[in-house]
Structure 1
Amino acid sequence: MGAGGFLLIVIAALLLFGPNKLPELGRAVGRTYREFKEATRDIVDDRPEVKKPEAPVTAASEAPKPDDRRLPE
């Protein structure tokens, strides 16, 4: 939505509610938006953490690895 669409919404709000009601309406919209953000944040934070199953340790992974990691010349 561009600047033209925003301007159209502001003009429609002025015609519907009048200039005296707009600050009150703006506060109500801001309060609603803030509550919505807090609720969505709470939902995301309350998600149970999914634990990944641990891979079984095998003898090959416990074997010492050779330390011949040199840069090519």
Structure 2
Amino acid sequence: MATMEDLDFGPVLITRGKHKGTIGYYDDTNGRSALVFLGAPFVSPYVWLPFKSIEPVGNAASLEIEVFRKDNPELCEIMGV
């Protein structure tokens, strides 16, 4: 579970709630929550989420894996990914 201090601004995986499994862009904080764009920063809808609901996406490979997992949950379950 991430805390505000753990996270740099950038790509995050939403791990809980309505947008679970979505890759977003963490852009700002109000000290209690993270402002996460649900697509391209500044032009997509955004949500305020508790820090416990997001995890950093470390690199482009991780981002691609998470998108694949979201798009192919049954296959990932069979493969153990």
Does TM, scored on the shorter chain, surpass 0.5?
no
Higher relative contact order by CA 8 Å / sep ≥ 6: 1 or 2? 2
TM superposition score category, shorter chain reference: under 0.3
TM-score (norm 1): 0.25
Q: Report which of the two structures shows the higher radius of gyration computed on alpha carbons.
A: 1
More helix by share: 1
